[in-house]
Amino acid sequence: MDNKLISGDAYVTKEGMYICSSDELSTNSLRAFVQDNQARSTKYQKNYDLYTGAHSILRMPHDPTSERPDNRLISNWANYVVDTYVGYFMGKPAKITLNNDTQNSQLQDWLSLNSFQNKLAEVAKQVAVYGRSYMLAYQDEQSDTKISVVEPTDGFMVYDTTINHNPLAFVRYSYFNNQLSGEIYTTKQVVSFGNDFNVNDATDHLYGAVPAVEFYSNTERLSLVGKIATLVNAYDSAFSRKANQVDYFDQAYLKILGIPLEKDRETGEPVLNLGANKVLYSPNADAANGQVDFISKPDGDNMQENMLNRLKDDIFQTSMVANLNDEAFSGNASGVAIRYKLLSMQNQAAFEERKFTIALRYLLGTLLGVGKIIGSANSDEMKKDLMFKFDRNIPLNTADEAQTASTLNGIVSKETQLSVLSIVDDPKAEIKRMQDEQQEAVKQAVKNAASATDSVKDDNDGQEEQQVLAGQSGSRKAVDGSKPSQRPTNQR
């Protein structure tokens, strides 16, 4: 059976989705969903502890009577795997654009004002840790559209029973002093509830849809941390035991056989003993074969190292994340060679990119339809016009990119040509800057041409002025009796 009934009309699927068969949440359904999500929060907390370094081995009880070493060492592979993958997937901001230049400019201003790229990166990290995350939209006191990130420990989405599983309501809740409070965001209203799960008041909103969306990397809601949890715990245990063994070897026992030593005058016992002095003393052995040396202990270093290496390799293989510190990456400057080594991580990011695109198209299309971000707009049209581009954060050869972009000149549009270049964040804005530069160059050319014409004109005026002055000088000489210059006459 795929769906588990937890209340009269409340179900939980095998993937952990909440389904409600009614058109709205009843008090009993709301209570059942919140209680089930609280139970799941235990798993979420374990994943969070693995990510932050609060591993379970640190909370295991110590034996105060034991004299053996008891080291508690952790290697925070969960943190390394999550940060490496999120940096690869969302290290470069996703490009979210519209076709219309004016609308796109307004959209970019809103994204920047709301630090949307930072929040999107936080969502990606929560998906890697918990398996899911949420974005919630709301209107602030100035009626501006804002975005908030909600962890799965503080909220959940409820879907309807249609084949598309459309969002029916989003529930956000919190506990303060053991008192529950929260809100239900439906397609039309924001409804608040308290500790008894009864509705207190309701406020209409303008979105026309549930103003929240769920992000996940796969339908099963599997997290990176959840995949490697047992391997990380096993690595911590093996690593700690190895440290204990190193300390144990440092506490070597001295063996004295067949050599009588001085005894204590009061007790008559040997001065040295096994417990306090780490000495094994046997004076009754054959004196001719007396020995004084340290007891050798079995060495399991090779077995332990093989175990640690195997666990480490399994951690990265299971998480499908490349170990960038591995020797396989040393000495490879070729971008193509690096891409092949990152193929498994690239495939995983490609699946997650499709899920993120669907969620972002729904959320942003709904918000743009309100008319507070880019003016009056149709939600369905905005969902069609929105374009998303995710760039992987890997070393790139800009020279090869430039050559590829140059080859595409005249084959594809200018925007597509510029999208090949990783150094261009917004192709539309780059085209606008290129057009502005061309217009400025034309203005400068016209200005310089006009200046050149005036300069030529000034030179011609100067020559004519010199000729006039020369003619006036000849006339004065004729009046004074000097021979004037003869001018040729037209012969008929």
Tokens 């003993």 locate to 273
Compute the average pLDDT of residues 248-272: 62
The answer to whether residues 7 and 37 touch, using CB atoms and an 8 Å cutoff, is no
Q: Which residues contact 91 (CB under 8 A, 6 or more apart)?
A: 393
* Residue 355: Cβ within 10 Å count: 16
- The chain-wide mean pLDDT, for the chain, equals 84
Spatial distance between the Cα atoms of 90 and 113, rounded to a whole number of angstroms? 19
Q: Sheet holding 254-257: strands in order across?
A: 279-282, 254-257, 291-294
- Asked if pLDDT for residue 451 goes beyond 80, the answer is no
d(CA 353, CA 341): 20
Structure-model confidence comparison of residues 211 and 421, the more confident one: 211
pLDDT band at residue 129 under the 50/70/90 scheme: very high
Task: Spell out the domain ranges in the chain.
Answer: 3-52+133-215, 73-116+123-131+222-249+301-395, 253-296, 426-478
Question: Tokens 């995949």 appear where?
Answer: 227
270's tokens: 């040997």
Helix (H) or strand (E) holding 257: strand 254-257
pLDDT in tens, 211-231: 999 999 999 999 999 999 999
The Cβ-side half-sphere exposure at 241, using a 13 Å CA radius, reads 13
Q: Is 265 left (phi over 0), alpha (psi -120 to 50) or beta?
A: alpha
Q: Rounded CA gap, 194 and 197, in Å? A: 5
Residues 78-91 pLDDT 10s: 999 999 999 999 99
The reported pTM is 0.76
Separation in Å, CA 145 to CA 154, 243, 262, 359, 367: 21, 54, 88, 18, 8
Which residue blocks in 320-426 are alpha helix, DSSP H?
335-341, 343-368, 379-385, 398-407, 414-419
Q: Do residues 81 and 228 lie in contact, with contact meaning Cβ atoms separated by under 8 Å?
A: yes
Mean pLDDT of 306-318: 94
Parallel, antiparallel or unpaired: strands 279-282 and 254-257: parallel
Question: Given this model, what pLDDT does residue 316 score?
Answer: 94
Structure confidence at residue 479 as a pLDDT band (50, 70, 90): very low
Specify which of 252-266, 288-302, 386-400, 435-449 reaches the highest per-range mean pLDDT. 435-449
Distance of CA 405 to the CA centre of its chain: 28
* Count, residues in the chain: 492
Q: What pLDDT is stored for residue 248 in this prediction? A: 66
